[in-house]
Structure 1
Amino acid sequence: MKVRFIVPFVICIVMTIGSAGAVWGDSAALSPYISILSTSPYKQLTRLDETANALYEAANTDNRQAGFLHVQQLERMIKGELKGKSGKMEGWAAIEQDARAIEQTIRSSETSSGWLKEAARIRLATDALVRPEHALWLQYESIMLDDLSRVEKAWKRQTGDGAIAARATMNSLQEHAERIEPAISMIYGSMHGAELNERIRYTNQLLETKKSSPLNEVMINHSLKALNTAIVKMFDHSGRAEVMPAVAPLATSNPLSWTFFLGAIISAVLTYSGWRKYKNNPFGVKPLP
């Protein structure tokens, strides 16, 4: 009977149309982002991130030859068209400045500690550009809050040298703030971390005051609380700026389109099987032996 292949054939047509519609629908929805979701910028950013990681490893091992090679590669990438496609110009300027500092340090035959800091800053900045939602610099929130906790404990010492001990402990917090500065500038711009830097500067100024007074102690306590607020505010995810999606591959799987596609294949097989049976036995009656 014709129903053996007509019904699967109709289902196959419907499934094929549905599958094509689902695919075209996705393409239409993504059409505004085709220019920024191209593979070329993503590959360039990936190479930049890999070069920054290699530069950091060279700094850790004091491999000057590899470091010089990687920093030159990095400088060529920075001077290209990549920085006009993603990230903030302040971040690119910070990377470029650190790269020049590394090259000058390597040329002057100084120790590895002279360019490890800059290499770490570059690595964090490129990582923030490639993985904005899971960047390494975000882990510094707990580190910096721990730094501040040690500062507060040092300040509350009963030995009479609390201000001196707190000021010495502030160096760690300041160092960590400087390390993530290019990463913040790359994602948000330089003004995002301005409040924290100002709070660190002001707190250091209060702690360095040689003349101790009850008013100065109150101001220091207030400044430490404000510093805690500034750290939390800087890492506040709710205020995160939008980042160009070209730095991450787009997930393109669509369960509906796959359902239609598999349904069309199954219906096609059933249609072909029914048609062959109909051709061999069009009236559904077996021939007599």
Structure 2
Amino acid sequence: MKIRIMIPFVLCIVMTIGSAGAVWGNTIFGPSGNSLIAGSEANMLASLDEAAASLYEAAYTNNRQAAFLKLQRFNQLTKQASVSGSGSQAGWEAINEAVAQIEQALVRGEPGSGWLMAATRIKLSTDALVRPEHALWLQYESILLHDWTRVQQSWKRSTDDGALAASAAMDSLNEHLNRIELAASIQFGDTAIDEALVRAHYTNLLLDGIIDGGSNGERVNKSLDALRDKLVQLFDEGRETAVLPVVAPAASTNPISWALFLGTIICAVLTYSSWRKYQRSPYGIKPLK
């Protein structure tokens, strides 16, 4: 009778161990074998994003002492392989240039307003690494298209100062485009953002030429249309080629772990049932009727 208890009891223990091993094995290695590594990357990038946010706050509040500390922390994190391996190489080169600009500004004793733009560009770029599908820079699409509409309306005005007004409106578009340059570059490369920047620069040159007495009206119209196309393409490409999230997705259901789990429950029930029978009849002797 004891054997009938021990067999399901031993099987229950074995299946319990196997079930736990399957669960922990999936957690550690997962489908791609790097869930723990991805978790480490996520933590490092989250720390990088936090340092960038603190650097931006220091610039906004003109806190140079805090900026020195946060910039040092930011540089330490960017040297980690798990951090620098995320995003595009062109984006990291642009981030390093922005960091160097802030360092030089701090050494020169410039106020926070002098390096606020660089801090903003860095913050948007780290946000794009941590939250690629919902990056803040993607929200600039409506802002830039609104800027473009203002430029076109200024250019189309019936007065003689259309080129001058359009050039002034282009200042806002250029500022917003430069603000998201690092984020777009770090997320999916510098091709699309460079094309938009080049087209904006060319439009500025055409407007400046008209202001100086030139006659490139038709070329300005074509350049403005091309500029809008590049802006739309920039954000479309940003959504289509967004980098994969740094946090690995949950492992898919493992049928082996489910089988072991159900087997554990069945063996536990059989063990309990056999034990109850043994308690009622220890020696298997049935009472005479």
TM-score by length of 1: 0.81
C-alpha contact (below 8 Å) 2:184/2:238 kept by paired residues: no
**Residues 1:135 and 2:140 aligned together:** no
Tell me what 1:113 maps to: 113
Moved more, 17-26 or 222-231: 17-26
**Letter aligned with residue 29 of structure 1:** P
Unaligned runs of 5+ in 1: none
Deviates more, 1:217-226 or 1:11-20: 11-20
Q: Which moved more, 1:230-239 or 1:51-60?
A: 230-239
Amino acid at match of 1:235: F
- 1:132 maps to a residue whose letter is P
Kindly provide the CA deviation profile for residues 44-82 of structure 1, in whole angstroms up to 9, marking residues without a partner as x. Answer: 222111100110111111111111111122123334434
2:217: which partner in 1? Answer: 217
The structural deviation recorded for 1:84 is 4.4
CA deviations on 1:226-271 (whole Å, 9 max, x unpaired) are 11110111111487446365x2243247486775565345424422
Give secondary structure in 2 for the equivalent of 1:235. Answer: helix
1:29 corresponds to which residue? 31
Of structures 1 and 2, the one scoring higher in RCO (CA 8 A, sep 6+) is 1
- For 1:4-19, list aligned pairs within 5 A: none
Give 1:1-289 correspondences, 5 Å limit.
23=23, 27=29, 29-31=31-33, 33=34, 37-82=37-82, 84-208=84-208, 209-210=210-211, 211=213, 213=215, 216-237=216-237, 240-241=240-241, 243=243, 247-252=246-251, 254=253, 260=259, 263-281=262-280, 287=287
Separation in 2 of the partners of 1:50 and 1:111?
22
How many residues are aligned here?
A: 283
Once the two structures are TM-superposed, the CA of residue 204 in structure 1 deviates from its matched residue by 0.9
SS in 1 for 2:243: coil
Tell me the distance in 2 between the aligned counterparts of 1:107 and 1:72: 13
Measured against aligned partners, the alpha-carbon deviations of 1:146-175 in whole angstroms (never above 9, x if no partner) come to: 111111121222222111111101111111
- Worse overlay, 108-117 or 48-57: 108-117
**Cα distance between partner residues in 1 of 2:12 and 2:38:** 34
Query: When the two structures are superposed, what TM-score results if normalisation uses the length of structure 2?
Result: 0.81
Output the amino acid matched with 1:93: E
Aligned letter for 1:170?
A: M
Whether the 8 Å CA contact 1:154–1:166 is kept in 2: the answer is: yes
Change (3 A) 1:41 1:28: closer
Distance in 1 of aligned mates of 2:73 and 2:192: 29
CA distance in structure 2 between the aligned counterparts of 1:187 and 1:76, rounded to whole angstroms: 21
In structure 2, relative to structure 1, the CA distance for the partners of 1:261 and 1:67 (3 Å cut) is: farther
Q: How far 1:179 sits from its partner (Å)?
A: 1.0
Could you tell me which amino acid in structure 2 is paired with residue 276 of structure 1? W
Q: Which runs of 5+ in 2 are unaligned?
A: none
User: Are the counterparts in 2 of residues 105 and 114 from structure 1 also a CA contact under 8 Å?
Assistant: yes
Distance in 2 separating the partners of 1:81 and 1:200: 35
Q: Which runs of 4+ in 1 moved over 6 A?
A: 11-18, 283-286
